[in-house]
Amino acid sequence: MNTAIRLGFSGIALLICASCGTSEPPAGEVLPAEDAAVTEDGPDPGDAGPDGSKDSSHEAELPDAPQGDGEPSDVKQRVCAEQHFPSSYGNDDTNIYPACFQMGSPAGEHGRDPVGEAQVETWLEHAFSIQVHEVTRAEWQALGLALPAGLEPAEGEPEVCTDPQCPVTGLTWFEALFFANAESGDPCYALADCVGEPGTGMTCGSVTLTRASVYDCVGPRLPTSAEWEHAARAWTQTAYYTGDIASQDGGAGCTAQAALEPAGWYCANAGSPPITHAIKTKDFSPFWLYDILGNAAEWVSDDYVPGGYGPGPVSDPGGQVSASGPGQVRGGHAASQATECRAAARQQLPKSARHPGVGLRLVSTVFPLQ
């Protein structure tokens, strides 16, 4: 995960992804000129040097973020239209600009929670960088951490893939925060009264922030639920970024969904019994993200709120953390039903749980040059 707090942007306006596929896009790939608005000259931040490292010497100033202090009265003065703020792809991360989008699912979407997924106008005031793939077992071990062991999948849970390039799963929420801190020179979370070692089911009695909000943190962290959903949607309003979910009349259990097949591993295509798979073995999204739907469900930092975020509009929601609140995972896993892999779907999970289908993906707030 790139821990730089001032990441350059190519200034490429992301409108569509006409060439999404299983092959990995080359570092620094941008859209054709006719589909892009170039606002910044110079090398793309995703370009790698001869040694494979990124060139961080070319930094571009971000466009002004929408104004407002987060109070609904301020947000309502702004117009939330479909805004294709530039995004750019790098070797490990995708940079996503400030945006406004409709969080939740439209009425009539098959499998939706009519209360928890009620649509709400959501403003993300900060640009952020998100990993293009889930944290792997190899990345976890690279920090000298023990891999989670002794995970016995229950009914509806996937087997654990043990290849180094498979997502690391079976982590508690607290262990996910620990990993984010370990990847940073400026940790976002202050963990206290912890019991156990990372990888063995560590839990903590207290979790506070080192900044006023997670959005103000400098180093890597878990995404908020709003950041996760915007990244997963990539400007779409369908159940999946690849298309809509087909209604299953009276359908119970695992049913195949044509739109989900190219995007993610889930109960209908992940084997029998279902098992997590190596990263980057399904198509990447219009935001160049792999496995954002299916394979491993992903912890987010904010608590699960059964009633959703309210009527809105909301600005930078979920900015606080709590050690005791109900945990939340997004995206579904290899044994999940297709309805659980929808971009709007949210699942509650105790923060102390060691689920064989739950892993993580890190983000970092991107601060504009001053």
pLDDT value, residue 19: 33
Number of Cβ within 10 Å of residue 113's Cβ equals 17
pLDDT digits (tens, 9 = 90+) for 74-88: 555 678 866 665 566
Establish whether the linkage from the previous residue to 25 is cis, with ω within 30° of 0.
Answer: no
Is the per-residue pLDDT at 48 higher than 80? no
| Burial call 49-71: b when 16+ CB within 10 Å, e when fewer | eeeeebeeebbbebeebbebebe
Bridge-based pairing of strands 314-315 and 120-124 is parallel
Closest alpha carbon to 363 in 231, 171, 237:
231
* Structural domain spans, the chain: 1-370
Q: Token pair of 121, please? A: 């106008």
Is the per-residue pLDDT at 60 higher than 50? no
pLDDT value, residue 309: 83
Could you tell me the pLDDT band of residue 313, with boundaries at 50, 70 and 90? very high
- Which helix (H) or strand (E) segment holds residue 225: the answer is helix 225-233
pLDDT digits (tens, 9 = 90+) for 215-233: 999 999 999 999 999 999 9
From CA 312, how far away is CA 73, in angstroms rounded?
10
Place of tokens 């202090």: 69
Closest alpha carbon to 307 in 69, 114, 165:
114
pLDDT value, residue 370: 53
pLDDT value, residue 80: 82
Bridge-based pairing of strands 297-299 and 327-330 is antiparallel
Closest alpha carbon to 159 in 32, 313, 270:
270
Contacts of 60 (CB under 8 A, 6+ apart): 8, 9, 10, 11, 40, 42, 45, 369
pLDDT value, residue 20: 36
From CA 317, how far away is CA 123, in angstroms rounded?
8
From CA 164, how far away is CA 168, in angstroms rounded?
9
Could you tell me the pLDDT band of residue 251, with boundaries at 50, 70 and 90? low
Closest alpha carbon to 96 in 236, 297, 232, 296:
232
pLDDT digits (tens, 9 = 90+) for 2-47: 443 333 333 322 322 333 344 444 343 333 323 333 233 333 333 3
Closest alpha carbon to 62 in 2, 8, 5:
8
- With vertex at residue 41, the alpha carbon angle to CA 38 and CA 43, rounded to the nearest 5 degrees, is 110
Could you tell me the pLDDT band of residue 291, with boundaries at 50, 70 and 90? very high
pLDDT higher at 236 or 309: 236
Which CATH superfamily, name and number, covers 1-370?
paralog of FGE (formylglycine-generating enzyme) (3.90.1580.10)
Is the per-residue pLDDT at 64 higher than 50? no
Kindly state the average pLDDT of the residues 305-313: 87
Q: Which amino acid is at 123?
A: W
- Whether 229 and 240 have beta carbons less than 8 Å apart is answered as no
From CA 152, how far away is CA 170, in angstroms rounded?
10
pLDDT digits (tens, 9 = 90+) for 103-148: 999 999 999 999 999 999 999 999 999 999 999 999 999 999 999 9
Is the per-residue pLDDT at 324 higher than 50? yes
Is the per-residue pLDDT at 352 higher than 70? yes
